[in-house]
Amino acid sequence: MDEDDKRWLDETAAEQGVPMTELVRRAIRLLRQADAGRPSRRDLLTATRGTWRHGDGLAWQERLRDEWEDRAR
């Protein structure tokens, strides 16, 4: 954690009369609530497996990357 974030946490904790760890617990709780109901990365990969129907996906990616490299030159 950088010094500015640490200082902000310390000041906010003092203003609210709670330990800094309580603010961290609250932040984690809020992040977990915001994340609730979202499918996991694994679920998304499982749900979309096999949806590419246009040939070899790796060959397609390589062609795109070649185009990017050609444009960068």
DSSP for 1-70, written as a single string: --HHHHHHHHHHHHHHTS-HHHHHHHHHHHHHHHHTTSPPHHHHHHHHTT---SS-HHHHHHHHHHHHHH
Residue 73 lies in a domain: no
Domain membership flag for residue 9: yes
Domain for residue 6, yes or no?
yes
Q: Tell me if 18 is assigned to some domain.
A: yes
**pTM score over 0.85:** no
**Other C-beta atoms within 10 Å of 15: how many?**
8
pLDDT tens string 34-50: 988 899 999 999 999 88
pLDDT tens for 2-44 read: 999 999 999 999 999 999 999 999 999 999 999 888 999 999 9
CA 37 – CA 64 distance, rounded (Å): 34
Give the domain range for residue 17. Answer: 1-37
Provide the angle, in degrees to the nearest 10, between the axes of the packed helices 3-16 and 20-35: 100
Tell me how many domains the chain contains: 1
